[in-house]
Amino acid sequence: MTEHTASYYAASANAHLPWPQLEGDAECDVCVVGGGYTGLSSALSLLERGYQVVLLEAARIGFGASGRNGGQIVNSYSRDIDTIERNCPPDQARLLGNMLFEGGDIIRSRIERYQIQCDLQSGGVFAADTEKQFHELAAQKARWEKWGNDQLELLDRHAIRQVVNTERYVGGLLDRRGGHIHPLNLALGEAEAIRSLGGRIFEQSPVVEIIAGEPVTVRSHKGRVKARFVVVAGNAYLGNLVPELAAKSMPCGTQVVTTEVLGEERARELLPQNYCVEDCNYLLDYYRTSADHRLIYGGGVVYGARDPADIERLIRPKMLKTFPQLAGVKFDYTWTGNFLLTLSRLPQFGRIGSNIYYMQGYSGHGVTCTHLAGSLLAEALAGQAERFDAFARLPHYPFPGGRLLRVPLTAIGAVWYSLRDRLGF
């Protein structure tokens, strides 16, 4: 658990108080397991509807992907709506299409409502390395416009140079409804909002057992929570607590670096409008500048890479391919974080029995979908499950080989790419 301390976000986090550890017994309507965006958004949406909520976090708020990600507010899901339209009945595709941009809207409204200081900036660019990717971006623009996003602009080779100062790309797509945030400060702000609504959060309180029943009993080392409902929101950090969830997903690492302070002028030379950028490759690069004018650059998919020298060796060539002008720039922070890959790359929502819910597997694009997930969960518990179930009905496949194949990148690539193609996803 040391790698979080090396993150730029931990070093630039807003002042915050730690939460107590769970000791003894507690009761509530809903017990949430995990203090990332899925858990925080669930807790907040439930509290806004008047439920009593206890959230248990194994380490600390934002310890997982939510406190160490690229901070990019990327709309849609890890697979776009065309994949869903091809593989799902029209009524389900319509429900999911109508929610494509809701996660981002939830983030913005939370930031405003709870006055969360997390450096929100509008505008995200999808950058194409090839003509084929550029044509696909044009098709994506048409799809997203059909579902209501009128803030998109296709950028040709010349236009993308005006917003990303590199010769690397043949074009791109600007989404003004995208953008970026300081991810840990968003999580910490959401935790404070939970406090303001009377929610109880316990840190350093790993859940070691969930005992089904009515109520469900959730056991940690030094205490227990009895609840009418449980929300499992541990994502890539859940381990084998719920074996049926572990079987159908695979934790993957991705690495991020933060440069020394470049200064405003140099930062704006790289990204003049302060948009964030991700490219269109499966193993994608993603980057943006921070409020104090550093470049935050992520990429790679290496599970368990923690050594700062390894991370630097992995990311520096990627960064220099995009911005050769940064040769010689120092990295002040390097870290790794885990996201949860599913075979279809679509998120996995569902129920175990009637009162244990789960949402996981955003496959690398979870900043917006986690926020949607929490909102839909609260809606479902309040009796309106149609939209939650539109996600729950998405097909899920177990990873062949299960836990044994979780580590090597080669295994991920070989199994995942071949199966994805064979399943038509």
Q: Which positions lie near ligand FAD, rule CB under 6 A?
A: 33-39, 56-59, 63-66, 68-72, 74, 206-207, 233-238, 241, 254, 256, 286, 298, 337-339, 362, 364-367, 370
CB of 206 to ligand FAD, least distance (A): 4
**DSSP state letter for 290:** -
Burial of 190 (0-12, 13-18, 19+ CB in 10 A): buried
Separation of alpha carbons 227 and 215, rounded Å: 5
What kind and span of H or E run contains 382? none
DSSP 117: -
CB of 422 to ligand FAD, least distance (A): 26
Cβ proximity to ligand FAD, 276 vs 390, nearer residue: 276
CB of 131 to ligand FAD, least distance (A): 26
Joined tokens for residue 67: 């406190």
Q: What is the distance between the alpha carbons of residues 130 and 33, in angstroms, rounded to a whole number?
A: 42
Cis preceding-peptide flag for 215 (omega within 30 of 0): yes
By beta-carbon proximity to ligand FAD, the closer residue of 43 and 327 is: 43
Cβ at position 73, least distance to ligand FAD in Å? 7
Which residue reads 């194949």 in tokens? 405
Nearer to ligand FAD, 59 or 326 (CB): 59
φ/ψ region of 364 (left if φ > 0, alpha if ψ in -120 to 50, else beta) reads left
User: What are the distances in angstroms from CA 37 to CA 12, 27, 151, 238, 353?
Assistant: 19, 23, 25, 14, 24
CB of 204 to ligand FAD, least distance (A): 10
Considering the complex, what minimum distance in angstroms separates the CB of residue 366 from ligand FAD? 2
Q: Looking at beta carbons only, is 94 or 207 nearer to ligand FAD?
A: 207
**Closest approach of Cβ 125 to ligand FAD, in Å?**
13
Q: How far is the CB of 158 from ligand FAD (least distance, A)?
A: 27
d(CA 55, CA 32): 5
Tell me the residue number closest to ligand FAD, measured at CB: 366
Indicate the residue among 206 and 261 with the shorter CB distance to ligand FAD.
206
* Pair type for strands 53-56 and 200-202: parallel
- φ, ψ dihedrals at 330, nearest 5°: -85, 150
Q: Where are the beta strands (DSSP E) in 15-170?
A: 24-33, 53-56, 72-73, 121-128, 152-155
Residue closer to ligand FAD by CB (options 51, 287) is 287
- For ligand FAD, the closer CB: 18 or 324: 18
CB 103 within 8 A of CB 368: yes
Cβ proximity to ligand FAD, 19 vs 286, nearer residue: 286
Contacts of 165 (CB under 8 A, 6+ apart): 269, 270, 271, 272, 323, 325
**Phi, psi at residue 339, to the nearest 5°?**
-115, 170
Q: What angle do CA 277, 281, 287 make, to 5 degrees?
A: 25
Nearer to ligand FAD, 21 or 94 (CB): 21
Q: Helices 37-48 and 183-196 meet at what angle, rounded to 10? A: 30
Task: Output the smallest distance, CB 413 to ligand FAD, in A.
Answer: 18
Amino acid at the residue 391: F
Q: Which is nearer to ligand FAD, 94 or 195 (CB)?
A: 195
Query: Shortest distance, CB of residue 1 to ligand FAD, whole angstroms?
Result: 9
Residue 71: left (phi > 0), alpha (psi -120 to 50), or beta? left
- Kindly state the smallest distance separating residue 207's Cβ from ligand FAD, in Å: 4
Question: Based on CB atoms, which residue is closest to ligand FAD, 97 or 361?
Answer: 361
